[in-house]
Amino acid sequence: MRTGEIHKTWYFVMTLCWSRHQYVELVRDQTIATWLQCHRHAFEWFHGVPERLIIDNPKCAIIRACLYEPEVQRAYAQCAEGYGFRIDPCPPRDPQKKGIVESGVKYVKNSFGPLRDFRDLADANRQVRAWVMAEAGIRIHGTTRQQPLVSFTGTEQGLLLPLPAVAPELATWGRVKVHRDGHVQFERAYYSAPFRLAGKSLWLKATATMVHLYEEHILVATHLRQGAPGARSTVTDHLPPEAQAWQLHDVQWCLREAKRIGPSCSALVRVLFGDRVLIKLRAVQGLLRFAQQYGDERLEAACRRANHFGTPNYGAVKQILAKGLDLEPTPTVSTLATTYTQGGRFCRDTQTLLLH
């Protein structure tokens, strides 16, 4: 389907030094995962692996470019071990050392790109592979004066390392920090780690389907990789005890626990859950937690007193228990009546009739 949208793309080009045969792929980003995937496609295209790869110093491959001791991305180093090739980064600021690959990229851009129309990225890659085999591969190369495809199939292909029987796992590595909520962030998704590691930096290894978290060399968490932005993968055992209690003590648990304590507690909890504006799960959890401090009988008595005075809420029960009012008898209607008829300080005694 033609939409007319314009997407920025890059060429990934791998050129064999002797035959000048190429693998070319158009990609939409320069991430580590794309870099590794292009290497796999190139090795499968050549049906073999070169012993040495001379590369520029892209951030997806080289963390720190240096003439003597360059620092390689951990993911790329693992890929090199899996396929058996060795990495030879070009010296920084020395373009003469990378002439072969630079000439190959320039040739692709000048000879393939112009005057071509693509329906989508897959169509562009189908066209560029056909172009490599039908045009670029059979041209007479300006330096070798040979056809790259003929030189490759006749001599160079047999000198490549064989592909491994099982393709190595391609994984992206990176350093991540455990947030205060016990999660790390990777590609806009969140993954839990043991709460004791909050504030620490971990190694994250991401494959196409899994995410692993390491404290240096110790595996501390494993998750299925999340695809949607904002998605969370949380292991309950990673959470602190209070957070685990919050997840386990849901509405149904609270209703059962309140019913076990007594009818007054059950009635008060149902009033709280019946609020039309607020979700009062925290209030109910806090109220039921009073049973650990004061016991079931005192909590039931406090709920009975709160219900009697029309204040069925967490704050009222807390004050009743703190002041020990649950230990006093609940006032009855007759007791209240005597306050207004006999016991009030400023009330007239209505039982005494004064005659003048």
Structure tokens given for 244: 């685990």
Domain 10-159: state its class. alpha beta
Please state the pTM of the whole predicted model: 0.67
- Domain spans of the chain? 10-159, 172-239, 249-335
- What's the CA dihedral at 224, 225, 231, 236 to 10 degrees? 30
- What's the CA dihedral at 29, 32, 37, 40 to 10 degrees? 140
Closest CA to 21 of 162, 161, 164, 154: 154
Whether 12 and 27 have beta carbons less than 8 Å apart is answered as yes
Who contacts 227 (Cβ-Cβ below 8 Å, separation ≥6)?
189
- Buried-state track 302-328, b at ≥16 Cβ within 10 A, e below 16: bbbbbbeeeebebebbeebbeeebbee
What does the alpha-carbon distance between residue 171 and residue 207 come to, in Å, rounded to a whole number? 5
How do the pLDDT tens digits run along the chain, 356 residues long?
Answer: 466 677 889 999 999 999 999 999 999 999 999 999 999 999 999 999 999 999 888 888 898 888 888 899 999 999 999 999 999 988 877 656 666 767 888 889 899 988 788 888 999 999 999 999 999 999 999 889 999 999 999 999 999 999 999 999 999 999 999 999 899 999 999 999 999 999 999 999 999 899 999 998 899 999 999 988 899 999 988 888 766 666 667 888 899 999 999 999 999 999 999 988 888 888 998 999 899 999 999 999 999 999 999 999 999 999 999 999 999 987 765 555 555 555 555 555 555 544 44
